[in-house]
Amino acid sequence: MSSIRQPSRLELTRLTSVAERLSGMWQHLSAQEVLSEILKGNAFIKNPALVSSFGADSAVLLHMVGALDPAAQIVFLDTGFHFSETLLFRDRLTKAFGLNNVRTASVDPIAVKRLDAQRRLHLSAPDSCCQLRKVSVLDRHLRMNDAWISGQRRSQASTRSSVSVVEVDEARGKLKFNPLANWSLSDFAAYKARYELPEHPLTAKGYLSIGCAPCTSAVKVGEDTRAGRWRGQSKLECGLHNRPNIIASSEHVA
């Protein structure tokens, strides 16, 4: 189902070397400074895209992009199963932050007809559903980009404890950046309070991590913020970030 070309060993060696170099150059920069460097571009980064779910944790990075470069490319993966509140939140943040290059990447209708015409694949094979509705959509979109940016933080969940600011997405043969990787929960809350950022409408109802409606539930007090995703299943991530061969570059300390 994947539509990506496997990068060669030589390409991956070069990317790893670039990632280590950038990681070293940026190790004392703040998240905003790192993001600014990425969006400005350099010899190694020419066409990055920020991939955003416009979920509960998305406003901070989107706000930073709006302040630095409102024309930066932002990609929203439309799985066909989003909460209506998420679509409204996407439109609200886009307008509030003056973002003028938000692109919606949609699922291939022919693949959906072939693999999930009844829209029930998430019930029987959620990994295949995420592959169809998220991973392959991102793979296809990122063919146009040499790097991508996400809002992942180590403090979000135990499954994200090894996220680095600069990584190599080995499966896609791209640089991947997580400018907020080192931010604690309190860093994050302080930024939101300082700029009075709006909350996703479902956050007040206990949805602390928000994906597709059929696979997201509210979180109880004391639970991990991602406990409401695929509740009752062993599945923890959709596969966008934890492709088996994403390799982290050297640790970033800023």
Please, are residues 125 and 152 in contact by the beta-carbon 8 Å criterion?
Answer: no
Q: Among residues 38, 129, 168, 181, which is the contact residue for ligand SF4, using CB under 6 A?
A: 129
Query: How many contiguous H segments (helices) and E segments (strands) does the chain have?
Result: 9, 7
Nearest C-alpha neighbor of 125 from the set 135, 115, 110: 115
Q: Please say which residue, 21 or 235, places its beta carbon nearer to ligand SF4.
A: 235
Q: In the numeric block, which tokens belong to residue 61?
A: 């990075």
Vertex 68 angle, CA 83 and 49, to 5°:
55
Closest separation in Å from C-beta 135 to ligand SF4: 9
- Which residue of the chain is nearest ligand SF4 when measured via CB? 212
DSSP code, position 237? -
Q: Among residues 26, 54, 81, 148, which is the contact residue for ligand SF4, using CB under 6 A?
A: 81
Closest separation in Å from C-beta 153 to ligand SF4: 20
Q: Please say which residue, 163 or 238, places its beta carbon nearer to ligand SF4.
A: 238
Closest separation in Å from C-beta 240 to ligand SF4: 10
126 binds ligand SF4 (CB under 6 A): yes
Q: Kindly indicate which of the ranges 25-33, 124-132, 196-204, 241-249 contains the residues binding ligand SF4, using the contact rule CB under 6 A.
A: 124-132
Q: Please say which residue, 80 or 206, places its beta carbon nearer to ligand SF4.
A: 80
Residues contacting ligand SF4: total by CB under 6 A: 13
243 binds ligand SF4 (CB under 6 A): no
Nearest C-alpha neighbor of 208 from the set 188, 191, 194: 188
Q: In the numeric block, which tokens belong to residue 6?
A: 């496997």
Nearest C-alpha neighbor of 228 from the set 242, 249, 241, 213: 213
Please, are residues 174 and 139 in contact by the beta-carbon 8 Å criterion?
Answer: no
- Which H or E element spans position 136? helix 136-141
Q: Which residues pair with 176 in a beta bridge?
A: 148, 167
Q: Kindly indicate which of the ranges 26-34, 126-134, 164-172, 175-183 contains the residues binding ligand SF4, using the contact rule CB under 6 A.
A: 126-134
Q: Among residues 15, 18, 51, 130, which is the contact residue for ligand SF4, using CB under 6 A?
A: 130
Pairing of strands 48-51, 147-149: parallel
Closest separation in Å from C-beta 146 to ligand SF4: 26
The three-state secondary structure class of 246 is: strand
Q: What is the footprint of ligand SF4 within residues 138-177 (CB under 6 A)? A: none
129 in catalytic set: no
Contact footprint for ligand SF4 (CB under 6 A) = 79, 81, 122, 126, 129-130, 133-134, 211-212, 214-215, 238
Catalytic site positions: 238
